Structure 1
Amino acid sequence: MANGHSTEHRVIESLYQWLSAGQSAWLCTVVKTWGSSPRPAGSVLAYHPEHGIVGSLSGGCIEEALIRKLSAASKDATTNTVPYLYEYAISEDDQARYSLPCGGQITLLVECLTPTPETLQHVKVMLDTLNNRQRIRRDVSLVNETISLSTEPRDVAGQTVTLSSESVSVLFGPVFKMLLLGAGEVSHYVAQMATPVGFAVTLCDPRESFLQGWQQEGVEVIQCLPDDLVRARFNDQYCAILALAHDPRVDDMALMEALKTEAFYIGAMGSLKTTEARCKRLAQLDCTPDEISQLHAPIGIDIGSKKPAEIAISIMAEVVSERHRFLKG
């Protein structure tokens, strides 16, 4: 997913392409779950009878049943275009076929989107907002075909999905990006953990000898001085910047730039003594006390370990915690 879009972003992008071509399509959103449902509330899937599906709602059990249902509805000229809720219970056969630990139930919001100017503009605004790396909340009426959007700060915080008897509210946002500075063992393990939990990961190290042999599927690798990269691509509030090189020549210039961005998380690896020396250097590089106070250092939760994999666990625990704190506003 490095330098890519979130699944939600790709779904909206596909819907816009299909609607722009004058074709109707379906949008399905997980709004409530019970038991072992494989995907959380807010997960989305787009379906087109000719182009198939984009996105995911489960490990496959729901998609099969849903495609049959939507395919039949697409051929029915009397299909109602008012959004509705569809409940799917995971059966014992589904559990065995898709290796699910136990039964569950999912409630989906199902929408048939037709290529009207209003719908096309609605989806375009969503796509433009996500392309600008901002959050947007979408409100869908369950009693008529009214849909609305909001980017107001008070509306784009809190729960991903809010459900009432008359409407569904769903929050969409851009993919979270993570910049790792330094091609070491800790970076290797952090990258392994960050990708599955929704980060697009980039590794940066100007030292050619450290990059030789460093491989991680799905991770973008760049050999350059990191300060320019931070300014250009890792400067918004959906970014985490981790200085793991343990080399002031790599870490300090990047941190000086990072502390002037809106990144939701900035961390640096090192001991308390190293951290104290680093903060003094950052002050000499014209970082203010308020900026330096944003730095998580020593990085991660203190678990008393010196093993790279365990240090990576402590780092990701702190990063994910801070991301949840940020999302709750």
Structure 2
Amino acid sequence: MPTMSSSDLYVLENALDWLQEGVRVALVTVAETWGSAPRPVGSLLAVAEDGRFAGSVSGGCIEEHLVERIDREFPEKPYAASYGVSADEARRFGLPCGGTMVVVVEPIRDAETIARSVAEIRQRRRVCRTLEMGSGVARLAAASADDGFDYDGKLLRNVHGPRWRIVIVGAGHLARYLARMALMLDFVVHVTDPRLEYRAQWDVPEARLLEGMPDDALLALGIDPCTAIITTAHDPKVDDMALLEGLKSDAFYIGALGSPRTSAKRRIRLGLFDLTPEQIDRLHAPAGIPIGSHTPAEIALSMLAEVVAVRSELIAVAKSPSRISAAVGCVG
């Protein structure tokens, strides 16, 4: 099974390849949105002067116009362009429900910051790239926990690379699909499994195997509000150890593989330990949303869909001016 790249990495890798061919490249970033815009701020599109492009800023609505515009007249300096401001534009560019957006089109002056960004993301590290709109100069720095997307018309600041984490308990067949899909979604992925036969056959190097028993591994890693935990081992001696620590932690999601009957038995077992009913109620079991999944890939998709849904709700709460969330530090 091939390794999959995250969306940011895919766009930036293509941009770097084209730059190294000697082709001029413009980087397009969603800077502002109103209404039902198809893509969030920070989304990227790389456009080569010969018409090749990678990524998406609108789900296909305005990419063709941007590619044609850049092909017709390659920009000399960064500029902002708005789409969907009028009803005619909304109809022309296919923006849904009156959604509008502003994109920043940036001619990449040199490949250095792109190459460094690619190298850092490949190492699962987060970087903050800042563009000065007036000069067109881009600078790169390690991203702090508080860094996120920002645009004020003069500076555009975008964070690339993973911010959220998933810890997978169990290194079996299902875990391989979970790990690869989670990496595509820009999660940092860790795997814990004390069973030597499973550790020996783990073949997703981007998802690091943690040392020690699952409970010790979680304690050593440190579980914060940006962490999800999914148990897949099908062995209570492995899964329950992780759940006993995970349910007492700040993890935003804790899920366990198993049938409704298995999950009911698990809840009874967990109730015999020092967990409160409220802590046990945090457990998503059976983990995943109902999509009629049967194969390991489908089950992994179901699980990650639930993780993303819970994360999206958490982000919405954290960004609400009337609510305060412990996960506000995770929101980019």
Compute the TM-score of the two structures, normalised by the length of structure 2: 0.63
The aligned residue for residue 64 of structure 1 is: 64
The aligned residue for residue 113 of structure 1 is: 108
Q: Which runs of 5+ in 1 are unaligned?
A: 207-222, 281-292
Alignment of 1:94-113 (within 5 A): 101-113=96-108
CA distance in 2, matches of 1:226, 1:201: 21
**Are residues 175 and 328 of structure 1, via their aligned partners in 2, closer, same or farther at CA, if it must alter by over 3 Å?**
closer
The aligned residue for residue 327 of structure 1 is: 330
The aligned residue for residue 33 of structure 2 is: 33
The question of whether the paired residues in 2 share the 8 Å contact of 1:24 and 1:113 is answered with yes
CA distance in 1, matches of 2:287, 2:116: 47
Kindly indicate whether residue 18 of structure 2 is the aligned counterpart of residue 15 of structure 1: no
The aligned residue for residue 113 of structure 2 is: 122
Shift of 1:136: 1.0
CA distance in 2, matches of 1:147, 1:307: 43
Q: Which runs of 5+ in 2 are unaligned?
A: 211-220, 257-262, 291-301, 319-326
The aligned residue for residue 169 of structure 1 is: 157
The aligned residue for residue 287 of structure 1 is: none
Shift of 1:240: 3.6
Deviations 1:158-196 (A, max 9, x none): 532x1113211111123866565579xxx89x97xx87x
The question of whether the paired residues in 1 share the 8 Å contact of 2:288 and 2:306 is answered with no
Shift of 1:142: 1.3
The aligned residue for residue 296 of structure 2 is: none
Over the residues paired in the alignment, what is the CA RMSD in angstroms? Answer: 4.9
The question of whether the paired residues in 2 share the 8 Å contact of 1:267 and 1:297 is answered with no
Deviations 1:247-276 (A, max 9, x none): 3145257779x97xxx96673535543225
Shift of 1:50: 3.3
Compute the TM-score of the two structures, normalised by the length of structure 1: 0.63
Deviations 1:208-230 (A, max 9, x none): xxxxxxxxxxxxxxx93599789
CA distance in 2, matches of 1:97, 1:201: 39
Shift of 1:198: 3.0
Deviations 1:13-57 (A, max 9, x none): 111111222221110000001122110101000011336111001
The aligned residue for residue 214 of structure 1 is: none
CA distance in 1, matches of 2:23, 2:79: 20
- Which residue among 224, 236, 240 is the counterpart of 1:248? 236
Shift of 1:85: 0.8
**Are residues 245 and 130 of structure 1, via their aligned partners in 2, closer, same or farther at CA, if it must alter by over 3 Å?**
same
Alignment of 1:136-155 (within 5 A): 136-153=127-144
The question of whether the paired residues in 2 share the 8 Å contact of 1:178 and 1:240 is answered with yes
The question of whether the paired residues in 1 share the 8 Å contact of 2:128 and 2:147 is answered with no
CA distance in 1, matches of 2:92, 2:272: 56
CA distance in 2, matches of 1:164, 1:250: 49
CA distance in 2, matches of 1:97, 1:205: 51
The aligned residue for residue 159 of structure 1 is: 148
The aligned residue for residue 55 of structure 1 is: 55
Shift of 1:91: 6.8
- Which residue among 65, 75, 78 is the counterpart of 1:83? 78
**Are residues 99 and 62 of structure 1, via their aligned partners in 2, closer, same or farther at CA, if it must alter by over 3 Å?**
closer
The question of whether the paired residues in 1 share the 8 Å contact of 2:83 and 2:90 is answered with no
CA distance in 1, matches of 2:143, 2:306: 34
Q: Which has the higher contact order (CA 8 A, sep 6+)?
A: 1
Alignment of 1:218-233 (within 5 A): 224=198, 233=208
**Are residues 169 and 243 of structure 1, via their aligned partners in 2, closer, same or farther at CA, if it must alter by over 3 Å?**
same
Partner SS state of residue 72, structure 2: helix
Judge which range, 61-70 or 143-152, deviates more. Answer: 143-152
Kindly indicate whether residue 185 of structure 2 is the aligned counterpart of residue 198 of structure 1: yes
**Are residues 99 and 26 of structure 1, via their aligned partners in 2, closer, same or farther at CA, if it must alter by over 3 Å?**
closer
The aligned residue for residue 285 of structure 1 is: none
The question of whether the paired residues in 1 share the 8 Å contact of 2:26 and 2:46 is answered with yes
Query: Percent of counterpart pairs with the same letter?
Result: 26
